[in-house]
Amino acid sequence: MTDKQREIFTTRKKEWSKMLEQIEAVNLSEKWTGIFTALCLDRGFRRLQPEQLGQMQHIAEIDSQSVSYLAQADKKAGLTMLERISVEITDEPTRSKAVHIILEKGIKKSQRELDLIISMANSTPSLFDQEATA
């Protein structure tokens, strides 16, 4: 390793250590600490903003199996998308459907379908839904 490489590596190592300490400070479960650690290191994060730490907290609080799978399986889904699926979709079968679409088509190609799924998940029940529960 050259001196310049060693210098860059030392700097990055300090940044990664600080980032990992930030993740640990959020007080997540061991499962989610591991997921976010791998996600941040795999994607080359060097520092985390408070907004990103808040996103991690929201995702971990909901603890969706589908979102957990997506965070580990896909290298394109970012914290914002993971949080959207966790928070804006309230039931696990619909989350699972959204994750399946992302894994099948990719983030960019599935964006319109995901927006539709999320908006449907947020919409008020229709008259037909109300009849079925009555």
pLDDT digits (tens, 9 = 90+) for 42-96: 988 988 999 999 999 999 999 999 999 999 987 778 899 999 999 999 999 999 9
What pLDDT is recorded for position 75? Answer: 72
Query: Which token pair is 62?
Result: 């909901």
Highest mean pLDDT among 75-84, 95-104, 108-117: 95-104
Query: Which token pair is 25?
Result: 């400070």
How far is 34 from 28, CA to CA, in rounded Å? 9
Q: Report, as an integer, the average pLDDT of 87-115.
A: 92
What pLDDT is recorded for position 130? Answer: 54
DSSP symbol at 47:
-
Alpha helices in the chain (DSSP H): 3-25, 30-42, 50-62, 65-73, 79-88, 92-105, 107-122, 127-133
DSSP per position, 82-113: HHHHHHH--SHHHHHHHHHHHHHH-HHHHHHH
The answer to whether the CB of 122 falls within 8 A of the CB of 134 is no
The answer to whether the CB of 83 falls within 8 A of the CB of 104 is no
How far is 110 from 7, CA to CA, in rounded Å? 41
Q: Domain extents for the chain?
A: 3-122
What pLDDT is recorded for position 77? Answer: 85
The answer to whether the CB of 82 falls within 8 A of the CB of 114 is no
pLDDT digits (tens, 9 = 90+) for 10-45: 999 999 999 999 999 998 999 999 999 999 999 889
Global pTM? Answer: 0.82
